[in-house]
Amino acid sequence: MVRARPTLCALLALAAGAAGCGTASTRPAGGAGSAPAGPRPPLQTANGPLAPAAATSPLTLQLGGVPDAVQIRFGRPPRSGLLFDLDTGRVLWRKDPTRVLPIASLTKMMTALVVVARVPDGAKVKVTKEALAYQGSGVGVLPKGKSVGLSAMLHGLLLPSGNDAAIALAQRADGTLPRFVADMNARTTAMGLSCTHYSSPSGFTDRGNHSCAADLAVEARAVLDQPRLARIVRRRQAVLPFPIKGGKLYLYNNNPLLRMRYPGTLGIKTGFTDAAGRCLVAAVRRGDHRLGVVLLHSPDPGGQAVKLLDRGFRALG
């Protein structure tokens, strides 16, 4: 893990890329820069251009100069966190928002962004032997050698946080995992993320896989700006046609705000490893406001998110 604290520029580019850690099954472990407004040219990678964003929505994340509107003390605070307005970039609460930490399955937000930039809607994704050799959380019932619809595989990635789905999607998008990871890091650079680096599409391995709350806030907005992804991450559960016995796949989202039916929850992503602890990126709409919250290595991400969001919406009136 990188130990140096990065410098975060005031302007963080929110790229609407042409793109919770639930567990359907678990296997034992084995092992900012400024961005110009207006359209960008396609991002060039070793594997060719990534699909450009449908629109570029720059966000000024207001990290300095103004006291936070929400003042709260947690008995056991997260190691890092951020409460912010998803539309204006106003920061309402923070705790070390540029501290670099492992992020576990929050990685899959970037995986999803790169996949939808590279793989056309309606495409099929082959279930490879590498995908079936996954570790950690997974869909768990992927049929070897068969092809599965992209939408179903994205659901498997983002609801039960399937590491098997992450591998299969990465191979479908770029052929090999190293090439896909290179594209993840290329998009990270293009989005102006200053403390993020990826080493896998799943986040299961913490070595070399890290980010910070400020960067993850930008990624969260990029996910919500993608209609295909926004529709998936807000679902508490899904029943999908699938080439298995019975013909249906049942998936459940472990996002604590969705599970408790917290009003206005738009979803996003959870994550957990021993090194990363319990992590949450969530978004909620109430009236004309959308707030986002990022909590890294939190003892109670659901409870802490609710307290922050309740106070945040009260502060906004």
The CATH number of the domain holding residue 275 is 3.40.710.10
Of the candidate ranges 40-54, 91-105, 172-186, 274-288, the one whose mean pLDDT is the lowest: 40-54
Please give the average per-residue pLDDT across 70-74, as a whole number: 93
Does residue 2 lie in a domain region? no
- For position 26, what pLDDT does the model report? 43
In whole angstroms, what is the distance from residue 106 CA to residue 84 CA? 18
Task: Tell me 175's DSSP state.
Answer: S
Of the candidate ranges 1-10, 49-58, 98-107, 304-313, the one whose mean pLDDT is the lowest: 1-10
Does residue 1 lie in a domain region? no
Reported confidence tier of residue 242, pLDDT bands at 50, 70, 90: confident
pTM of the predicted protein model: 0.83
Q: Is 151 one of the annotated active-site residues of the chain? A: no
Reported confidence tier of residue 8, pLDDT bands at 50, 70, 90: very low
**pLDDT of 37 strictly over 60:** no
CA-nearest of 314, 307, 281 to 97 is 281
Q: Is 211 one of the annotated active-site residues of the chain? A: no
Q: Which of 80, 151, 161, 211 is catalytic?
A: 161
* Amino acid at residue number 233: V
Instruction: Give the dihedral of Cα atoms 310, 275, 212, 52; nearest 10 deg.
Output: -100
Task: Tell me 183's DSSP state.
Answer: H
**pLDDT of 20 strictly over 50:** no
Reported confidence tier of residue 63, pLDDT bands at 50, 70, 90: confident
In whole angstroms, what is the distance from residue 58 CA to residue 185 CA? 19
Residue 269 marked in a binding site:
yes
Please give the average per-residue pLDDT across 269-297, as a whole number: 97
**pLDDT of 1 strictly over 70:** no
**pLDDT of 306 strictly over 70:** yes
The 3-state DSSP class for residue 205 equals: coil
- For position 57, what pLDDT does the model report? 59
Per the model's pLDDT, the better-predicted residue between 96 and 9 turns out to be 96
Per the model's pLDDT, the better-predicted residue between 224 and 12 turns out to be 224
Contacts of 260 (CB under 8 A, 6+ apart): 302, 306
Q: How far, in Å, are 139, 183, 287 from residue 174 at the CA level?
A: 21, 8, 40
Please give the average per-residue pLDDT across 245-251, as a whole number: 88
**pLDDT of 22 strictly over 70:** no
Q: Is 105 one of the annotated active-site residues of the chain? A: yes
63 is in which domain, residue-wise?
Answer: 11-25+32-316
Angle at the Cα of 81 from the Cα atoms of 267 and 4, rounded to 5 degrees: 125
Q: Which of 105, 137, 199, 298 is catalytic?
A: 105
Number of domains in the chain: 1
Please give the average per-residue pLDDT across 210-235, as a whole number: 96
Does residue 6 lie in a domain region? no
**pLDDT of 56 strictly over 60:** no
In whole angstroms, what is the distance from residue 6 CA to residue 238 CA? 39
- For position 61, what pLDDT does the model report? 83
In whole angstroms, what is the distance from residue 208 CA to residue 199 CA? 5
Does residue 4 lie in a domain region? no
**pLDDT of 54 strictly over 90:** no
* Amino acid at residue number 45: T
Please give the average per-residue pLDDT across 131-149, as a whole number: 89
Q: Return the top range by mean pLDDT from 7-11, 64-68, 117-121.
A: 117-121
Q: How many helices (H) and strands (E) does the chain have?
A: 9, 17
Of the candidate ranges 53-57, 67-71, 162-166, the one whose mean pLDDT is the lowest: 53-57
State how beta strands 277-286 and 265-273 pair: antiparallel
Contact 229, 223 (CB under 8 A): yes
Does residue 307 lie in a domain region? yes
Does residue 105 lie in a domain region? yes
Does residue 3 lie in a domain region? no
Dmax of the chain from CA atoms? 58
Q: Mean pLDDT across the chain, nearest whole number?
A: 85
Does residue 104 lie in a domain region? yes
In whole angstroms, what is the distance from residue 239 CA to residue 152 CA? 9
